Amino acid sequence: MVVEAGINNAFRTILIIIGAIVLLRFIGQWMNAKRNMEEERRLNKQQREFQEERNQKLKNFGKVNVFGRTTKKNNRNKGDVEDVDFEEVD
């Protein structure tokens, strides 16, 4: 079987090449959009976690955690502080 290099075959080859280029560009744009959406989801999740942590810290601001219990800090004046002397044990 002999294939002749005619105008029809050249035109067909050019159309196949153009179709492949268009298809590759479409796939590239689709993959880029998918990557951007995943990046946006990741950033939104990170921002949401940051906000939750910030809200939790603001909620517990000024509280002291002692043995698993959370109590409110007592506001003491400097005059209320009691000095304790320690003795060395041999």
- Residue 72 DSSP class: E
Q: Is residue 32 part of a domain?
A: yes
Model pTM above 0.95: no
Q: Is residue 2 part of a domain?
A: no
Q: Is residue 68 part of a domain?
A: no
Q: For residue range 37-79, what is the model confidence (pLDDT) as tens digits?
A: 999 999 999 999 999 999 988 888 877 776 666 555 555 555 5
Spatial contact of 9 and 2, defined as CB atoms under 8 Å apart: no
HSE (side-chain half, CA atoms, 13 Å) at 28? 6
pLDDT at site 82 = 66
Q: For residue range 1-47, what is the model confidence (pLDDT) as tens digits?
A: 666 778 888 899 999 999 999 999 999 999 999 999 999 999 999 99
Provide the number of structural domains found in the chain: 1
Taking the alpha carbons at both ends of the chain, their separation in whole angstroms is 109
Q: Is residue 67 part of a domain?
A: no
pLDDT band at residue 85, thresholds of 50, 70 and 90?
confident
Q: Is residue 89 part of a domain?
A: no
Q: What CA–CA distance (Å, rounded) separates 40 from 32? A: 12
Q: Is residue 49 part of a domain?
A: yes
